[in-house]
Amino acid sequence: AQSVAQPEDQVNVAEGNPLTVKCTYSVSGNPYLFWYVQYPNRGLQFLLKYITGDNLVKGSYGFEAEFNKSQTSFHLKKPSALVSDSALYFCAVRDRANAGKSTFGDGTTLTVKP
């Protein structure tokens, strides 16, 4: 069965500092990996995805993520955090071999302090 782990419930960083939100996954076939963000009282929004090719993927709002096959990880990063980045972040995996079924992690709350 496929699964996603986000080991940190909460990540706190100071504005201007780099941020990392961690994600590891387990899937039998080739993974398609996604990051979504959920702002208060708003629906989930797509940030970026890894399908194939370059291990470093760039997405919306200056975010990027690095796919590491050997460590089965897909950590979300940003070089310089903004207060407006404070939100709930979800990692998700889809397995092409499993009809594309989506599995989400339980989310990480990012708080960026001024």
Binding site for another protein (CB under 8 A): 4, 32, 34, 36, 42-46, 49, 51, 90, 92, 94, 96, 99-107
Give least dist CB 107 to another protein, A.
5
Could you tell me the smallest distance in angstroms from the CB atom of residue 34 to another protein? 6
Terminal-residue alpha carbon distance, the chain: 41
Rg (CA), the chain: 14
**Range 60-63 contact pairs with CB under 8 angstroms and sequence separation of 24 or more:** 61/85, 63/35
Q: Which is nearer to another protein, 68 or 102 (CB)?
A: 102
**Burial state string for 62-90 with b = 16 or more CB within 10 A and e = fewer than 16:** ebbbbbeeeebbbbbebeebeeebbbebb
Q: How far is the CB of 13 from another protein (least distance, A)?
A: 22
Whichever of 19 and 91 has its CB closer to another protein, that residue is 91
Q: How far is the CB of 61 from another protein (least distance, A)?
A: 15
